[in-house]
Amino acid sequence: MAKMIITAALTGGEPVHKGMTPYVPSSPEEIAEETYKCWEAGASIVHLHAKDPVTGKPAADPNPYFKQYAKLIRDRCDIIINMTTGGARPTTGEKLDEMVKERCGLGAEMMSLNMGTINLWTPPYENVFMNEIPRIRRWVGYMYEAGVKPELEFYDTGMINATKMLVKDGVLREPLHVQFVMVGTTGWSPTPKALMYGVEQINPSWTWSVCSLGRTQLPMGAFAMTLGGHVRVGFEDNIYIRHGELAKSNADLVKRIVTIAEALNIEVAKPDEARKMLGLPKP
């Protein structure tokens, strides 16, 4: 069985902030230190959102923070840096395009890209997360031009079909790396049956990962690794180490998934091994 790649998603976009848990890293220094701890624990990828250093809520001007994160992290370790194009968006239209294009040059090796539009999965369920196909085409172009590999986020079956269409059109270059985002409510149900169906729909040459919210993070991650998939953990998706007890570090969640992998005799990939698996050059 191939080695397993662990992604640590440290902070998330809108939902996770200091008001929910005092342990969420928010300042550039806290995020860099938390990344280092996750790398030590076994994570090969760090997934980043930009946070206000005081409140932990989304930063009003994200890109300067992303630039700081990348520099501080690279000074500490060789983890793969993955920056979001989703989460909180402080602008729209052409300005959003410009912001994402600039972000592609701020030190990321990978960037997440939601592969379609979806009703938001958090209360009060009143808004829509927009990602139209023309926008996806543009952003993929920005990433490839900057030498950044897209991580394609799937919230439902239609996004798999859209991805296949964009491969056929020459927009996306195989092999791809994709992630099943099992949010429940408006997207994939976090069940083994749903994940198995999704995996059956993708090209066997694609690498894939799973992230799941709250109490489903651990069981869905454990199930994914038995299928040969990779796993994302972290405060973006779950802030608890066990029922009613806040995790004190993202590294605690990484260590827990490493323990399960070891029990299953699944080796955890180091960053350079993950780069080789994902087709990434050394930084």
- Domain 6-278 is of which CATH architecture? Alpha-Beta Barrel (3.20)
Domain boundaries, the chain: 6-278
pLDDT tens for the chain, 283 residues long, are 789 999 999 998 777 888 899 999 999 999 999 999 999 999 999 999 999 998 888 998 999 999 999 999 999 999 999 999 987 777 778 999 999 999 999 999 999 999 999 988 777 777 888 899 999 999 999 999 999 999 999 999 999 999 999 999 999 999 999 999 999 888 899 999 999 999 999 999 999 999 999 999 999 999 999 999 999 999 999 999 999 999 999 999 999 999 999 999 999 999 999 999 999 987 7
Which residue, 174, 48, 165, is CA-closest to 116? 165
Q: Which residues touch 71 (CB under 8 Å, ≥6 apart)?
A: 107
> Would you say 205 and 180 are in contact if contact means Cβ atoms under 8 Å apart?
no
Which one-letter DSSP state was computed for residue 215? G
pLDDT of residue 150: 98
- In this prediction the pTM is 0.96
Please work out, in degrees rounded to the nearest 5, the angle formed at the alpha carbon of residue 208 by the alpha carbons of 270 and 211: 90
3-state helix, strand, coil in the chain (%, to 5): 40, 20, 40
Tokens standing for 92? 């729209």
Which residue, 169, 173, 226, 183, is CA-closest to 203? 173
> Would you say 79 and 283 are in contact if contact means Cβ atoms under 8 Å apart?
no
Burial of 12 (0-12, 13-18, 19+ CB in 10 A): buried
- What CA–CA distance (Å, rounded) separates 120 from 15? 12
Backbone angles phi, psi at 92, to 5 degrees: -140, 175
- What CA–CA distance (Å, rounded) separates 9 from 235? 6
CA 49 and chain centroid, separation: 10
- What CA–CA distance (Å, rounded) separates 43 from 269? 8
